[in-house]
Amino acid sequence: MRIAIDAHAIGNRQTGNEVYVRSLLRHFVELEPRNDYLAYVSSKTAESDIPRGVKTRRVASNPFVRLGYQLGSHLREDRPDLVHVQYTAPLRCPVPIVVTVHDVSFLEHPDFFSPFRQRQLALTVASTVRRAARILTCSEFSRQAIAAVYNLDPETIRVAHNAAAPCFQPADGRGAKAIVRERYGISAPFLLCVGNLQRRKNQLGLIQAYESLIQAHPEFEQDLVFVGKDTSQSGEIRELARKSSVRQRIHFAGFVPDELLPAFYNAADLFVFPSFYEGFGIPLLEAMACGRPIACSNRTAMPEVTGKTAVLFDPSSKQSIGQALHDMLANLDLCQKLGEAALHRSRGFRWDATARTVLNVYREVASVPSRAVESSAPRALASGS
């Protein structure tokens, strides 16, 4: 098969989207090296993350250029059997489309997006779903949500779970703490939260819950550390932390590359994930793979990912978040048992299994006689969620 993949997320710090396409490419080459893989990349540094055996072709980082005409033009020249995209396909696509829709938060919670961004995604993802030969997603929760909003039979949507990269595994806590201390200046024991700084991830609620917890229980010595890149919404999060009565104990590490991120997980006493909405939640699985005890939201796909290995809370209630943190910090035996259970559960999520599922979908699509799928689509374009 000749397979084209929109890999513009690689090198652009698009977190989950980048992890997804990068991990698939690595395992595709290992599992089926005879296929002809072509990755369309936009970052100047992307080639270093592309495995040998995958050809690359540069496309614009601007989604209006890339999706408006450039990617479609390249596909006509390269003539693959299919193209795999995340969320949004080219405006005019001359080959069958496989689309991964990780979640539909832009429809179910439009308040988390700017009005323009929400309209972009609503229009372009709907157009892509209508034209797609196959639809993939990462959880049963997302499958049901996609089926509901687009009026589809859930059986037509294939679930291929995400996984953690091999670098996420248990490590010596002392060594991990030394890395965090030397690289980022954080020396105190800490609670860790990983995710871009935005309202959907609910760092605001966690800061409020943490402040109340420390005021009521000053004996807890753990600081609060946020790992994640800034967004247009990060100003209010940093401002709330700056005004907090425990501001000296709240740290923002910014974007942390994969080679250093395992140190944060292994140095943390507890991983906290207070998000309002997740189609999967890769940081949860990274923490699980490092054997960390977890407190997380009881909404969307998060209970599906963690199973019975996490303490769940209501993310809209700072009292619920604070109680979960208190119960875990006050019970080290519970934390140890949960960490061990999380590590065991994480081994059931593997990128090689996900890649096999996706390759099977490619074979199904490639076996269908090629047909033109050129179509008109909305003018507004977006690159994903």
**Cα–Cα distance measured from residue 231 to residue 379, given in angstroms and rounded to the nearest whole number:** 25
The answer, yes or no, to whether residue 330 has pLDDT greater than 70, is yes
- Which residues are 158's β-sheet partners? 136
What is residue 13's predicted lDDT score, i.e. its pLDDT? Answer: 64
What is residue 45's predicted lDDT score, i.e. its pLDDT? Answer: 77
pLDDT digits (tens, 9 = 90+) for 161-207: 999 999 999 999 999 999 999 999 999 999 999 999 999 999 999 99
The answer, yes or no, to whether residue 61 has pLDDT greater than 50, is yes
Count of C-beta atoms within a 10 Å radius of residue 217 = 13
Q: For the chain, which residues make up each domain, given as ranges?
A: 2-163+351-366, 173-346
Q: What is the mean pLDDT of the chain?
A: 92
Give yes or no for a contact between 190 and 224, defined as CB atoms under 8 angstroms apart: yes
Amino acid at 129: V
What is residue 218's predicted lDDT score, i.e. its pLDDT? Answer: 94
Concatenated DSSP letters for 60-112?
-SSHHHIIIIIHHHHHHHH--SEEEEES---SS-SS-EEEE----HHHH-GGG
In the numeric block, which tokens belong to residue 192? Answer: 């860790």
Give yes or no for a contact between 195 and 308, defined as CB atoms under 8 angstroms apart: no
pLDDT band of 376, cuts 50, 70, 90: very low
Q: Of 30-34, 145-149, 224-228, 378-382, which range is least confident?
A: 378-382
Q: How many percent of the chain have pLDDT more than 90?
A: 86
Span 173-346: which CATH code?
3.40.50.2000
The answer, yes or no, to whether residue 136 has pLDDT greater than 60, is yes
In the numeric block, which tokens belong to residue 68? Answer: 């408006």
107 φ/ψ angles, rounded to the nearest 5 degrees: -100, -40
What is residue 46's predicted lDDT score, i.e. its pLDDT? Answer: 79
pLDDT band of 158, cuts 50, 70, 90: very high
Of 3.30.70.270, 3.40.50.2000, 3.30.390.50, 3.40.50.1980, the CATH number of 2-163+351-366 is: 3.40.50.2000
What is residue 285's predicted lDDT score, i.e. its pLDDT? Answer: 96
**Collapsed DSSP state (helix, strand, coil) of residue 201:** helix
pTM comes to 0.89
Tokens 């998060």 locate to 302
**Cα–Cα distance measured from residue 242 to residue 228, given in angstroms and rounded to the nearest whole number:** 17
